Copies of this chain bind each other. A is one copy, B any other.
Amino acid sequence: MKRFAHPDLAEVSLSGAMQALADPCRQQIVRTLLEADGRAMACNEFELSVSKATASHHFETLRQAGLLRSSTQGTKCLSSLRLDEFEARFPGLLQLLRDEARA
């Protein structure tokens, strides 16, 4: 069973966080998780217009940016937002995504 690496939020730079959140596909992933309200979701539950390989790459990028916590459950990979930790490190950043989602 695969184990994913999850950096400490203190190691995540603002540049890194912004770069991760700048991509539309990754924004979509984070927005979906924001609406999921804390629930962990499998990769194939997200409606993404990219291949499996590309999606997997984006999930990894978001993990490295401290946004996602992932673990495998059977053949699935469940991911949830590290909401409180990320909010403590970069206050207000995720709220901007929430706002843009309504627009």
Contacts and interface: CB of A to CB of B under 8 A. Distances in A.
Interface centre among A14, A27, A93 (most CB of B within 10 A): A14
A97 interface: yes
A95 to B, nearest CB: 7
Nearest to A91: B92
Interface of A: 13-15, 18-19, 21-24, 27, 90-93, 95-97, 100
Nearest to A23: B15
Contact of A18 (B13, B22, B91, B92): B22
7 contacts: A14-B97, A15-B24, A15-B27, A18-B18, A18-B22, A90-B96, A92-B95
